[in-house]
Structure 1
Amino acid sequence: MAHVWRMIAQRLALGFLTLFVVSLLIFGATELLPGDFAEAILGQSATPETIAAIRRDLGLDQPFYTRYVSWLGGVLQGDFGNSLANQKPVIELISKRLGNTLFLALYAAAMAVPLSLTLGILAALFRNSIFDRMSNALALTSISFPEFFVAYILILWFAQTGYFPSIVRLSDGISFGETLYRCFLPALTLTLVVTAHMMRMTRAALINLLASPYIEMARLKGMSPMRVILRHALPNALAPIINVVALNLAYLITGVVVVEVVFVYPGLGQLMVDSVSRRDIPVVQAVALIFASAYVLLNLTADVLSTLSNPRLMHRR
């Protein structure tokens, strides 16, 4: 286990280094956004004197490196600053939105992971059958469509017929079942987008192992094909499957921007789009950094779980 802890420490160090570089890129990219926040506030009544006064009050007149060091120091202490649009703490704006985004991601993952693993196992079990060909064709079709197209198709089929709402409205008083009902269409959109990739990876990993000698020995002993896959092939195929599942879970958190905008879902993606349109730079920086942190953390989790699921990596000689 010593090498596992060493690997975790190395991955954490690389993760922090990656986040530092990402934070620098995020802070620099927000500086390139067109327009000026002070001019947007003042509108047609903007004068050079008033613009300079607002920029001075907000600290926008300071050099880039000074503002970056100040912002990074606040982030390390859990302070993302104040929103330029409404002067509220950024952490207050993103706390509830973060919970909504995580709920949507977990909702989609609860549907996508079991569905993709089941379809992948069945496709490997009935390789080259009609089911295998149809599932692969549907998987390639769903991968080819962008998220907004899938979302609008689902709205056309389910929302306009009155089965599910096309706009997600969440409030504190609704029940858990009502929340699941209102969030079903955006969760289904994310499920259709990520299921195909996980299903095809599961199928490919299992098929690569089915030609192994120990699989042939299990078949010669008279084991059923399903038992051979579940007991012998699947445990040894967990490493690539875990990797692809973790990457798709990272996408469910970081790639929800388009889906949230289509369904007007009150999550971090919608908040980020609104903040970009208003040039609310601290909010944009905070949301982007949260997305990057989630991606790095899930990649670290995938590396650790892949190592733990592989006996050759756990017991080195």
Structure 2
Amino acid sequence: MTAYILRRMLSVVAVVWAMTVLVFCIVHLLPGSVAHMILGEFATDDAIRLLEARLGLNDPLATQYWRWFSGLLRGDFGLSLTMERPAGPIILEALGRSAILAGISIVLVATIGIALGIHSAVNKGSPSDHALTLAQYFFIAVPEFFWCILAILLFAAWLGWLPATGYTPLAEGGLLGWGRHLVLPVATLVLGLIAHVSRMVRSSMLEALDSQYVLAARAKGLAERIVLYRHALPNALLPAITVLAVDVGLLIGGIVVVETVFAYPGLGRMLVYAIDNQDLPLMMGGMIVVTCVYALANLAADILYAVLNPRIRYGGAAT
């Protein structure tokens, strides 16, 4: 188990390093000058030369990459070109706000999605199962931006129950003011993901309930609740863990849309701002942070997968 975790951690490091190379190459090896891209096509030659000297763009690419990468290792993401502030604190502040959305969302997705999936599997063929199945297909098919617009129109514009945009820190608005700004973004984030997880749990739960070990547990006279939660559920959760890890990536993509529509000052909106304003240090640092979050989420899923099912062998060794 320890050896497996170490191997997975090394693979996470390798993926993040490869992403730094890819991000650097995309930004610096595209046709045209980075200085032209930042200043625009009408920039003067003197302005371009000054910016190239300021950013060290006249140095060899290997030197530029090492300067940027070594800065990342020290926690130095560079200086934001538009804000003229260190990019690191800006990224971390935005990441903290996005982590609030993502944390609440993933907890809701896991708890509600698993509960609905279990209910559908146990009550297969019932009216509630059919209703949940239709709802799952509907919410999976409809994209986040539709729910964002619908939520703003219904709960903010027509009913006036919740704010349409913005964010209020907990210290300023109190628990109520802070929570009111989170309801709509979180709700629009979790609708499709809950349907995704519950559908997978239903499928894996039905397979577990038809397995030989569940049949043997019932033959021993165990209570149905024990059979369900002690024997069937742990095995049914294994595919759900993989789906939840994938949903973290979908959640990151959804956060970009949701934060933009609701004007929520998180990492997704910051990336959109950095791209629109050609703020390369902010954009490159934000992309690396997103990569780290996704890689760590997959690492956590792999470890939890092995913990729940120790019979699984990785690389020929029992975990």
Pair in the same fold by TM > 0.5: yes
Match of 2:15 in 1: 18
| Mapping of residues 293-308 of structure 1, within 5 Å | 293-308=292-307
* Corresponding residue pairs, total: 313
Q: Please tell me the residue identity of whatever aligns with 2:203.
A: A
| Greater Cα offset, 168-177 or 119-128 | 168-177
Match of 2:91 in 1: 94
| Mapping of residues 99-248 of structure 1, within 5 Å | 99-160=96-157, 161-171=159-169, 172-221=171-220, 225-248=224-247
- Give, in whole Å, the separation in 1 of the partners of 2:168 and 2:179: 10
Sort the Cα spacing of 1:249 and 1:40 in 2 relative to 1 into closer, same or farther, 3 A. closer
Match of 1:274 in 2: 273
Contact 2:255 2:268 in 1 (8 A): yes
In angstroms, what is the RMSD of aligned CA positions?
A: 2.3
Sort the Cα spacing of 1:316 and 1:93 in 2 relative to 1 into closer, same or farther, 3 A. closer
The sequence identity of aligned pairs, in percent, is: 33
TM-score, L = length of structure 2? 0.90
Matched, 1:29 2:26: yes
Q: Please tell me the residue identity of whatever aligns with 1:75.
A: L
Contact 1:74 1:81 in 2 (8 A): yes
The equivalent position to 1:63 in structure 2, one of 60, 73, 78, is 60
| Greater Cα offset, 92-101 or 230-239 | 230-239
Q: Please tell me the residue identity of whatever aligns with 1:68.
A: Y
| Greater Cα offset, 83-92 or 296-305 | 83-92
Q: Please tell me the residue identity of whatever aligns with 1:208.
A: E
Sort the Cα spacing of 1:48 and 1:316 in 2 relative to 1 into closer, same or farther, 3 A. closer
Sort the Cα spacing of 1:176 and 1:61 in 2 relative to 1 into closer, same or farther, 3 A. farther
- Give, in whole Å, the separation in 2 of the partners of 1:316 and 1:285: 39
Sort the Cα spacing of 1:76 and 1:108 in 2 relative to 1 into closer, same or farther, 3 A. same
Contact 1:254 1:294 in 2 (8 A): no
- Give, in whole Å, the separation in 2 of the partners of 1:20 and 1:153: 40
- Give, in whole Å, the separation in 1 of the partners of 2:88 and 2:178: 24
| Greater Cα offset, 121-130 or 216-225 | 216-225
Contact 1:37 1:279 in 2 (8 A): no
Q: Please tell me the residue identity of whatever aligns with 1:186.
A: P
Sort the Cα spacing of 1:40 and 1:20 in 2 relative to 1 into closer, same or farther, 3 A. closer
Sort the Cα spacing of 1:272 and 1:21 in 2 relative to 1 into closer, same or farther, 3 A. same
SS in 1 for 2:312: helix
**Structure 2: tracts of 5 or more residues without a match:** none
SS in 1 for 2:242: helix
TM-score, L = length of structure 1? 0.91
Q: What is the CA deviation profile of residues 18-71 of structure 1, one whole-angstrom value per residue up to 9, with x for unaligned ones? A: 111111111122334988556755886x32122212221222333333211110
- Give, in whole Å, the separation in 1 of the partners of 2:34 and 2:145: 30
SS in 2 for 1:88: coil
Superposed displacement of residue 227, structure 1: 4.2
Contact 1:254 1:291 in 2 (8 A): no
Contact 1:38 1:54 in 2 (8 A): no
- Give, in whole Å, the separation in 1 of the partners of 2:10 and 2:218: 45
Superposed displacement of residue 223, structure 1: 5.0
Match of 2:248 in 1: 249
Matched, 1:8 2:5: yes
**Structure 1: tracts of 5 or more residues without a match:** none
Sort the Cα spacing of 1:118 and 1:35 in 2 relative to 1 into closer, same or farther, 3 A. farther
- Give, in whole Å, the separation in 2 of the partners of 1:16 and 1:103: 25
Superposed displacement of residue 178, structure 1: 2.1
Match of 1:84 in 2: 81
Matched, 1:311 2:297: no
Superposed displacement of residue 305, structure 1: 0.7
- Give, in whole Å, the separation in 2 of the partners of 1:234 and 1:34: 56
- Give, in whole Å, the separation in 1 of the partners of 2:140 and 2:10: 34
